[in-house]
Amino acid sequence: MTKQENEPRVTSRDAWLEERRALLAKEKELMRKTDALRQAARDLPWVDVEDYAFTGPGGETKLSELFEGRSQLIIYHFMFGPQAETGCPSCSLITDSIDPSRPHLAARDVSLVLVSRAPVERLMAYRERMGWSVPWVSSASSRFNPDFQASTDDVNADGTFFYNFENMNRYPPGEQPGISVFRKGDDGRIFHTYSAYARGLEVFMPTYTLLDYVPQGRDEQGLPWGMAWVRRHDEYEAG
């Protein structure tokens, strides 16, 4: 019988251990490189930013207030545009994972906030539906979203727009996912220190990390796009 392309290799435990140890050496090498890469991200220079205005459940609030008395702030740019009725399923997948991390982040002087352009009432209704507690504010009244590549309505004459640090047209213009990090100094000045977009956000999706280790992997071959299978957590069929 001819071995099928996707047929697993079956071996002894000793042979498996030999291959696993070889893979472990590669994993450790990658981890060291990843540590160095993340240090390089922390070593990026800082950029002064204005104290942007947002709308929260209690009315107008400022970027400086989103720090909640801490010196570091992570903002997740959640795709929920002014005309949308519900939040993005992929952004919801990420928020399912990062929402429970807030107490641990707070213990390390970090606040976490979601920002979208939809009206705050719609954001709060969706947050309640999803069962999240993470703060969420609307940036519809300011240039925050386009300034940080989270809304790409500013299309160039050639049809491209600026996203993921370059002019592109690989995605439809409009709301885009991303994460941005800010630091507030003792004098109240606010600095932008880091942002990531597109596949740079995969590190915030432990669901994908787990799938990468099962035999079928992400199993996304044949889908219209990679995340076409993703649903909001209350929309998957039982079983």
Q: Per-residue pLDDT for the chain (239 aa), expressed as one digit of tens each?
A: 344 567 889 999 999 999 999 999 999 999 999 999 999 999 999 999 999 999 999 999 999 999 999 999 999 999 999 999 999 999 999 999 999 999 999 999 999 999 999 999 999 999 999 999 999 999 999 999 999 999 998 899 999 999 999 999 888 889 999 999 999 999 999 999 999 999 999 999 999 999 999 999 999 999 999 999 999 999 998 64
Burial class (CB in 10 A: 0-12, 13-18, 19+), 160: middle
pTM of the model: 0.93
Beta sheet of 72-77, edge-to-edge order = 47-49, 190-197, 178-184, 72-77, 110-116, 136-138, 53-56, 59-62
Q: Mind listing the domains of the chain with CATH numbers? A: 44-204 (3.40.30.10)
